[in-house]
Amino acid sequence: MTIDFDNDSRLLRSAMPVLEELGREIAGAGLCLLLTDRDGRVVRRVVDSKVFARRADDLGIVSGARFNEDTVGTSSLGTPLEVRHGVVVNGPEHFLEQLRALSCYGSPIIHPATGRVEGILDLTVEDQRADPLFIPFVDRAVREIERRLLDGSKVSQQRLVAAFQGTMPPPHAALAAIGTDMLLQNNVAANLLSSTDYVLLRESASELRPGERRRINIELACGEAARVEAESVVGSEGGAIFVVVPLLPDVVPVPRGVRASAAPPRLSVEMTGVIRLGGPVAVCGEPGSGRTTVAREIAGEAALWLDASDITQSGEAHWLNQLTDAVSTSTSAIVVEHVDALPESTLPAVTRLIDGDRGPRLILTSRQLDDLPPSIAAVIVRCEGRIDIPPLRRRRLELGVIAGRILSEFEGTWELTPDALAALCAADWPGNLSELASALRTASLTATSGRIGLRNLPARYQHTGRITHLGGRERAERQAIIDALNNASGNKVHAARELGISRSTLYSRMKALRIPS
């Protein structure tokens, strides 16, 4: 019998004593107990024999494997997550062929205080039908786990409340305590912080180690910069205390529900420096990351615009004549978009314009420097100023503010609910800002009362479980693996070599970090 111990989560702390007792009760009965989290991921397995354990391994029933309905269809691990009650699935009823030799009963573990499904407890046997006695056996264990969840929740909440009451914030500072199932705030926080800010603070709390203190600067949804003192509360199951001090004390906080003017983007400091510097500028980033918007801010409204991708239709000679004509005008700036599409033969003309001391200022836009051929990269690095725009997937803590700016351009007043923002934070955004704007525009068509909720988002963005439960270091590791796979065009051998790990380790981490294979 194998029971893997891990006491990092509330579900596991509550379930482990029950699993140990059940493990003794099923010894020698040819059964397998499985515990999944709310995402359908197997987090514990109790098997009563080595033979059954090897069989389960062969079928992929291992820690970290996901059995939600979207992944495997009908099963006693995924279906109860959707229907919120116990489900018996006999062998032929499984959607996946390899699972049809198994029959099982799974029951959802529902937190008594929050009503949220925390996971699934499942009992499986190698047979064409499940024993009817599985139902009372599993349901009794589920009730005991739920009782332990409630008891543990009460203790953790008490510790968070005590920490909140024992914290004395400076005058005019917001104080908030955020736990898994509760939120406490003082009057300043109630007026200053929005639901968007609380999602950002929850993200920060997930990255804190027990007892760790951290100071960060953030941009609030109301447009103010603020300093945040964050402290994890030991024994509160991921709870943390936040003291939020606005860095602009002369600005009156904007209460929730009142539209504020958009705050300057984080890139504004770099943009201001580049504008003051003068000279040619390169704006680099992934497609859809906002290169054109940044270039327009730097160039001004009177700039002339050329697009290197037009060369395929107009021809090199015509395009170079347009560039020459633009240089001879009195315009203050010329923007050349998609420089990465320039043919080799046009590069000397662009290089001369960069190196020239007179004439309009040149602003170039292109993909990120590491993604450019050497000849184009050599042109980009000649620019005196360069702004590298990070992709949206690396700006999750800013996503609420970014989404707010996009929504402010829509007709009417719009607000994202916390669950909608959490779902947006979980997406990968290969299309960056353009994709986000499209998703928000689509969501606004079905939303009412100016509130965009989870159900209003397009279906592919309605999943919050894939990334949001990962900590900061796990997200960084996940992104490094994704980047290595992209660089290797999906070749896992080459990706593992780039990362300096074995192929088996790569597969293991991909499964644990929910990276599609």
- Mean pLDDT rounded to a whole number for the chain: 82
**CB of 271 closer than 8 Å to CB of 297:** yes
pLDDT band at 266 (very low <50, low <70, confident <90, very high): low
pLDDT one-digit tens code per residue, 140-157: 999 999 988 878 767 778
Instruction: Quickly count: other Cβ atoms within 10 Å of residue 446's Cβ.
Output: 12
In this prediction, residues 256-277 reach a mean pLDDT of 58
Q: How many residues does the chain have?
A: 517
Pairwise CA distance, residues 241 & 225, whole Å: 19
Q: What's the number of CA atoms in the CB half-sphere (13 Å) around residue 9? A: 16
In this prediction, residues 51-61 reach a mean pLDDT of 83
What pLDDT, on the 0 to 100 scale, is given for residue 105?
92
Q: Is the pLDDT assigned to residue 255 strictly greater than 50? A: no
Tell me the fold of 10-151. Beta-Lactamase (3.30.450)
Residues of the chain with CATH 3.30.450.40: 10-151
Pairwise CA distance, residues 485 & 497, whole Å: 11
20 contacts: CB under 8 Å, gap ≥ 6: 3
Q: Is the pLDDT assigned to residue 249 strictly greater than 90? A: no
Pairwise CA distance, residues 10 & 404, whole Å: 33
- Helices 432-446 and 418-426: angle between axes, nearest 10 degrees: 150
Q: What is the CA radius of gyration of the chain?
A: 28
**CB of 327 closer than 8 Å to CB of 359:** yes
Q: Tell me the H-state helices in 166-310.
A: 187-192, 195-206, 268-277, 291-299
What pLDDT, on the 0 to 100 scale, is given for residue 455?
85
Instruction: Quickly count: other Cβ atoms within 10 Å of residue 84's Cβ.
Output: 10
What pLDDT, on the 0 to 100 scale, is given for residue 517?
64
Residues of the chain with CATH 1.10.8.60: 392-461
What are φ and ψ of residue 300, in 5° steps?
90, 170
Reply yes or no on domain 392-461 having CATH 1.10.8.60.
yes
Q: Is the pLDDT assigned to residue 186 strictly greater than 80? A: yes
* Architecture of the domain delimited by 268-388: 3-Layer(aba) Sandwich (3.40)
**CB of 67 closer than 8 Å to CB of 40:** yes
Q: Is the pLDDT assigned to residue 260 strictly greater than 50? A: no
* Architecture of the domain delimited by 472-512: Orthogonal Bundle (1.10)
What pLDDT, on the 0 to 100 scale, is given for residue 363?
93
Give the residue, 426 or 303, on which the prediction is more confident.
303
Tell me the fold of 167-246. Beta-Lactamase (3.30.450)
pLDDT one-digit tens code per residue, 199-213: 778 877 777 887 888
Residues of the chain with CATH 3.30.450.310: 167-246
What pLDDT, on the 0 to 100 scale, is given for residue 475?
66
Looking only at the bridges linking them, the beta strands covering 103-110 and 117-125 are antiparallel
pLDDT one-digit tens code per residue, 450-478: 889 888 998 888 765 545 555 556 667 77
Residues of the chain with CATH 3.40.50.300: 268-388
Residue 322 gets the label, from left (phi > 0), alpha (psi -120 to 50) or beta, of alpha
403, 411, 446, 454, 509 from 441: Cα distances, Å: 11, 11, 10, 14, 35
